[in-house]
Amino acid sequence: MEEFIEKLSIDFHNHSKYSYDGELSLEDFLNNDKIDVFAITDHNNFKFHEIYSNGEVLYKIKNKYFITGEEIMTSDAGEVIGLFIKQKIEPFMTFEETIKEIKRQDGIVYLPHPYDFYRKGKPKLKIVLKYIDEIDMIEVFNAKYFTELEVRMSFKLAKKI
């Protein structure tokens, strides 16, 4: 029998203990009572999915669903996320090459934190905007944003796609 979910909460940008800036284990995700679906997007790392996904791009463990993903550092334009990807994407390719690899894997190109004023891996919009038609999603809110202006600017950019 198919599950019916009236409301579904999804978080598209999460880092597990396999990311240099993450601490969360599988149990931490499973014990979260607020989110139903997590995209695990570790930095330049696909180990969480290699362990748990059994080759699926959307998979369920106990009461939670997981989307495969990776936050990939490019050589020329900062970070970009690939969602629903089948395997690890190597970092430090160009932004264009990284997008092509995400699409080759039938993934979704997700631009994280486009207007983060303080982050080292923030996207270089001069390059990113050349490929705006190839971007499927843009993150509007990021917990590390310090100002409302970052959210408003990200929202304005997201309306362009």
User: What are the tens digits of pLDDT across the range 106-160?
Assistant: 999 999 887 776 767 678 889 999 999 999 998 776 666 667 867 787 788 788 8
Is 74 exposed, middle or buried, given 0-12, 13-18 or 19+ CB atoms closer than 10 A?
buried
Is 51 exposed, middle or buried, given 0-12, 13-18 or 19+ CB atoms closer than 10 A?
exposed
| Higher-pLDDT residue of 115, 103 | 103
Q: Per the structure block, which two tokens stand in for 111?
A: 């631009």
pLDDT of 1 strictly over 50 = no
Q: Per the structure block, which two tokens stand in for 94?
A: 């160009």
Query: How confident is the model at residue 111, as a pLDDT?
Result: 93
In the three-class reduction of DSSP (H, G, I as helix; E, B as strand; rest coil), residue 51 is classed as helix
State how far the alpha carbon of 131 is from the alpha carbons of 5, 64, 88, 152, in Å: 35, 33, 22, 21
pLDDT of 73 strictly over 80 = yes
What is the mean pLDDT of the segment spanning 15-44?
A: 96
| Higher-pLDDT residue of 6, 156 | 156
pTM value > 0.85 = yes
Q: Where does 20-160 show beta strands of DSSP type E?
A: 37-40, 58-61, 64-73, 79-83, 108-111, 137-138
Query: How confident is the model at residue 113, as a pLDDT?
Result: 82
pLDDT of 23 strictly over 80 = yes
How far apart are alpha carbons 128 and 137 in whole angstroms? 13
Query: How would you classify the pairing of strands 137-138 and 108-111?
Result: parallel
Catalogue all structural domains in the chain, each as residue range(s) with its CATH number.
10-158 (3.20.20.140)
